[in-house]
Amino acid sequence: SQQGEEDPQALSIQEGENATMNCSYKTSINNLQWYRQNSGRGLVHLILIRSNEREKHSGRLRVTLDTSKKSSSLLITASRAADTASYFCATDYGNNRLAFGKGNQVVVIP
């Protein structure tokens, strides 16, 4: 299996600022997904980008995918205190089997 790896591991920003996280992976993928996890809860799906897509938007989220560099980025614009969470990238290596990165802790300071 392959593991996504997020960078940076922890991020602390002021409310209203943008937050950017990067994810790298090792082998070819079908798609790449980003999830959010609030403390003590399950993961919530944010966005899925397929291997033939380069950019995708959903509300304040923007995801890019560069398959030549095997990397993806997640941008959260105009952050809010409610965005405080851990963010995970996950690569689909077939049949919905996801390989997750170690996660990115984001703290948004009001």
Cβ proximity to other proteins: between 45 and 80 the closer is: 45
Among 10, 44, 78, 109, interactor with other proteins by CB under 8 A: 44
Q: What is the DSSP letter of 69?
A: T
Minimum Å distance from CB 91 to other proteins? 11
Measure the CA angle with vertex 7, ends 79 and 110; round to 5°: 25
For the chain, the straight-line distance linking the first and the last C-alpha, in angstroms and rounded, comes to 39
Contact between 33 and other proteins by CB under 8 A: the answer reads yes
In the numeric block, the tokens 């992976």 are attached to 25
Cβ proximity to other proteins: between 18 and 38 the closer is: 38
Contact 103, 74 (CB under 8 A): no
Contact 61, 72 (CB under 8 A): no
Stretch that binds other proteins, among 18-26, 39-47, 59-67, 71-79 (CB under 8 A): 39-47
Amino acid at 67: T
Contact between 75 and other proteins by CB under 8 A: the answer reads no
Contact between 67 and other proteins by CB under 8 A: the answer reads no
Binding site for other proteins (CB under 8 A): 1, 3-4, 30-31, 33, 35, 40-45, 48, 50, 88, 90, 92, 94-103
